[in-house]
A and B are shown apart, each in its own frame.
Chain A
Amino acid sequence: MSAGSLPSDSQVRDPGYPTPSENYLTNSKGILSWVFTLDHKRIGVMYLVGVTLAFAIAGLLALLIRLHLFQPDGFVFKGEEANNWYNQVFTLHGAIMVFLFIIPSVPAALGNFLVPVMLGAKDVAFPRLNLCSFYLWVFGALFFVSALCASGLDTGWTFYTPYSTTTNSSVILATSGAFILGFSSIFTGLNFIVTINTMRPPGMTWFRMPLFLWATYATSIIQVLATPVLGITLLLLIAERTMKIGIFDPEYNGDPVTFQHFFWFYSHPAVYIMILPAFGIISDLISVHSHKRIFGYRFIAYSSIAIALLGFLVWGHHMFTAGMSSLTTIIFSALTFTVSVPSAIKVFNWLATMYKGSISLTTPMCYALSFIFLFTIGGLTGLHLGTLATDMHLHDTYFVVAHFHYVMVGGTLVAFLGGVFHWWPKMFGKMYSEFGGRLSAALVFAGFNLTFLPQFVLGSRGMPRRYATYDPEFAFLHQMSTFGSMLLGFGLLVALIVLVKSLRSGKRAPANPWGGATLEWQCTSPPPFYNFERAPSVGDPYDFSDLEWDAEDERYVKVEPKREIVPEEKPEATPVHADDSN
């Protein structure tokens, strides 16, 4: 054996490679073994395919929007119906991105795969419910998209009344679809909370859980608490359209702003459904690829919970201009600032983790670094929007668009990609091209900034959002943004090609390619269908001291120091104190 960097006289532990009959991808065959699977890993993979498809559709629509905005009077849609077309396309883009991609992306796709494995459990607590929530997602998605396409919903993804009670497009079908998707989300969240509470193996205490699990737990709390309110809101909206119940419709003495309150009571916490799991991914990625213990573990863990709870108190900041009393707006503004505290705690802890770490600039780490950069911009511009005086000017401008794209795309999507690249070898047992991966990270970073940085300027100069045409003075910035979006799309395409290519021709992945210490790296790549035959021994998830790089097999292995043999000494037949008669 070649020397490598391993100490010569130590024992090395590595789970090796799974046999085809153990590998969860191959242990049972045929399409039905996937359709009716109860294995959380297969369900996670099916979600991954689903959300990727949804993302591709919505991403193409985004490109269409950007292309249209290439010229001040519209480049794509012409004629009398141009504005309608534009409204329908941005509604479709927003609705698919929010309900079908961002909300289920990390929790449902990566979370389903990772939560039980990271926890050391055999499966989630309710595997049937898990499959049911996947099919609810599929059914809801088909329903939703077909409703949107059939009649051209043009309300935006927020379904604001009174427009949504008067428009002729299919609000009822679309909201029914969103209602079904909401239940899918509730069941996933419920499943994860129960799994994390009751399925932890011996030794897995709350503070030995990887931070991804903490983030997933916080996300699940929001999913369980907030989504039912969206459900009833959408149900009341359906009732409003069918029976004219007069709760939201001003024609029947209803109050349209009530809808906004109800809607944002869900949808603001839903913003944290989108970003919290991304925080979890980044916490794990930064620590593993810096090969250094995470800085401020408890602070990061608690700040996830803090964000989840504070997120329920700030919904009013979406409605500063909707006619609330000035006292209410001041209170909501002040509460909004409190959310920035736990978010900042996380960012500082990530930076402190990297400080003096031995950083490997792998593809996941490149994505994690761009996440920190982009999310910080997104978070800081949020302060401008939480401040009453500036929000009066910036409300409903491109500044808002740029802000939430920095958080949702620069934050969640980039973290999602980082997470997919990080756990790809674990999910499919294949290594991808590092060069391709890093190239995609660079392209996405550059393209993203080129797309959305000009939009901050556009917004602060007064370009309103959701307009199909604009003043020629904005043309240059809009064109920059359009070029950027093409670059961003190209970068994402590169990422997809790199990953898909690895499935065909990638190198076989070792159990631990990055040197992670969490439990998922202790089972084979890909994991066996039963995850762990017995409850695994749980250690510190961020203790990298016993992991060594095995240069020969290009993998990290767990090295145990040479054990001393206890001198052979027979215990006495009767303990010394047995004779004591007192």
Chain B
Amino acid sequence: MSTIEASPEVGHDDHGHDHDHDHPAFLAHHFDTPEQQFDSGKLGIWLFLVTEVLFFSGMFCAYAIFRALRPEVFEGCSQFLNTKLGAINTGVLLFSSLTMAWAVRCSQLEQHKGLVGTLAATLSCAMIFLGVKSIEYSHKWGMGLLPAGLFAYDPSNPHPTDHPNYLMYICIPFAIALAGVLLWLVVSAGLGNKMHVAMAMPLTVVCLCFFVGVGLGMVLESGDETAEHIDVHADPNGLASAPVMLEAEKAAAAEAAPAIAASGAMVSVDESVLEILAGDASNTGVTSGLNALEQQNAAAGTSTITGDEAVVGAITTTEIDVMTPTTAGVFFSIYYCMTGIHAIHILAGIGVLVWLLVRAVRLDFNRQYFGPVDYVGLYWHLVDLIWIYLFPLLYLIR
């Protein structure tokens, strides 16, 4: 009987692994081949994206639940979101996805200058996005359109002037970043360190792009101010005056009713007329027609109706003010949660993209090792995709 101390050589001698020149610098010790490393990373990032989707899914659920519970709040409040700014941001993010995909291609083809350029373009788009977003946020904070607990919107005074300058607070960190990068650029240019200049130059442009975004947002927001004012004012003020109008119309129509009813040729029948006609219990068709009209009115006028109530007088008695913290606030809660966490993801994306840019300047990537660019690209596309869902859900559906 003999005991073999099973040394590692036993069994697989014929493979002829030689770990010294088989292992390039970028290959971690526990992987056998670059392919295995790449596949692991790719599966890892996909799984991470799955967790991200599930993370956001909680908020999409909350959106669905509260939209179903209070559709009128969502319709009314989404009027406050500036579709133009949302659309600009959507375009900017879509373009950044293009440059990101391009960057992945550049890294695969070892086009180092192109890689740095496309990464910088992606970063710039991200910064423009945040710049526009900061205009949107600061504008809404100024108007008091905040989550339920902090909601302070006053329809009679939609633009109070006694609030702090929110925009400035948002801009300060970016201004500091810009100053820092500029300093870096100047110092490294002064020292003649070409690599650091190559890193700091695109980053300076990137930081400047935040202020480009702010400027763009400002122009659009002020250009849209009048249009939005009409929207904003028409909505709550219209609401407030709606019952009054109806009463007046009713009074006027009551006199004219017999004549109209007699002629019967009226195509667009006034609601108050119908109401009088519905007073006749046998007139079921008119009653249900009025019900439908009333529901449309209620939906359009962001008031709620309770189905079982007596028809007559329902419109005036169930009128509620939706511009209160407890109702309107829910929309802005969800809006800030979703866009806020999305913005945090953009910030995280900016972080990893800067890291990629630094590595790209150091020529770390080659046709065998471009994994990190690919993974960050996937992450960036997901962040983009989430915005593609957020934009219609929050801005467009009315």
Which A positions have Cβ atoms within 8 angstroms of B?
A: 1, 6, 8-16, 121-127, 129, 186, 190-191, 193-195, 197-199, 224-229, 231-233, 235-236, 239, 243-247, 249, 251-255, 258, 262, 522, 532-535, 537, 557
Contacts and interface: CB of A to CB of B under 8 A. Distances in A.
9 contacts: A10-B1, A129-B44, A195-B40, A225-B50, A225-B54, A228-B58, A243-B148, A245-B333, A254-B148
A199 B39 CA distance: 10
B62 interface: yes
B372 interface: no
Contact of A199 (B2, B6, B40, B66): B40
A255 B58 CA distance: 14
B149 A13 contact: no
Contacts of A243: 146-150, 333, 336
A239 B333 contact: yes
Contacts of A122: 29-30
A262 B61 contact: yes
Contact of B1 (A12, A16, A229, A235): A12
A238 B61 CA distance: 17
A13 B6 contact: yes
Contacts of A247: 62, 66, 330, 333-334
Of A15, A16, A246, A534, chain B has the most CB atoms within 10 Å of the CB of A246
B215 interface: no
A186 B337 CA distance: 22
Contacts of B147: 239, 243-246
Given A16-B5, A198-B43, A244-B149, A537 B58 contact: no
A279 B47 CA distance: 24
Contacts of B111: none
B1 A533 contact: no
Interface in B126-147: 146-147
A522 B4 CA distance: 13
B48 A244 contact: no
B329 A246 contact: yes
Interface stretch (B7-15, B193-201, B236-244): B7-15
Which DSSP category, helix, strand, loop or mixed, fits chain B's interface?
helix
A190 B47 contact: yes
Given A227-B51, A246-B330, A12 B65 contact: no
A233 B69 CA distance: 19
B40 A194 contact: yes
Interface string B227-251: 0000000000000000000000000
Contact of B329 (A127, A190, A228, A252): A252
A408 to B, nearest CB: 25
Given A228-B55, A534-B15, A125 B40 contact: yes
Given A228-B54, A236-B58, A535-B12, A126 B337 contact: no
A197 B325 CA distance: 50
B311 to A, nearest CB: 27
Contacts of A190: 44, 47-48, 51
B285 to A, nearest CB: 34
B50 A224 contact: yes
Nearest to B146: A243
A194 B44 contact: yes
B326 A252 contact: yes
B57 interface: yes
B376 interface: no
Interface string B44-72: 10011011101111110110011001100
Contacts of B28: 127
B148 A14 contact: no
A122 B33 CA distance: 13
B288 interface: no
A254 B69 CA distance: 10
A193 B43 contact: yes
B150 to A, nearest CB: 6
B148 A245 contact: yes
B1 A6 contact: yes
Contacts of B83: none
B109 to A, nearest CB: 26
Given A8-B1, A126-B44, A229-B55, A239 B337 contact: yes
B54 A193 contact: no
B47 A258 contact: no
Contacts of B329: 244-246, 252
B15 to A, nearest CB: 7
Interface string B160-178: 0000000000000000000
A224 B15 CA distance: 37
Contact of B58 (A11, A16, A225, A229): A229
Nearest to A186: B51
Contacts of B43: 193-194, 197-198
Nearest to B61: A262
B36 interface: yes
A305 B118 CA distance: 43
A12 B5 contact: no
Closest 7 CB pairs of A and B: A244-B149, A245-B333, A533-B8, A246-B148, A232-B58, A123-B30, A228-B55
Nearest to B325: A252
B3 A12 contact: yes
A198 B40 contact: yes
Contacts of A126: 40, 44
A519 to B, nearest CB: 13
B17 A258 contact: no
Contact of A537 (B11, B65, B148, B327): B11
A258 B58 CA distance: 11
A252 B333 CA distance: 11
A272 B8 CA distance: 38
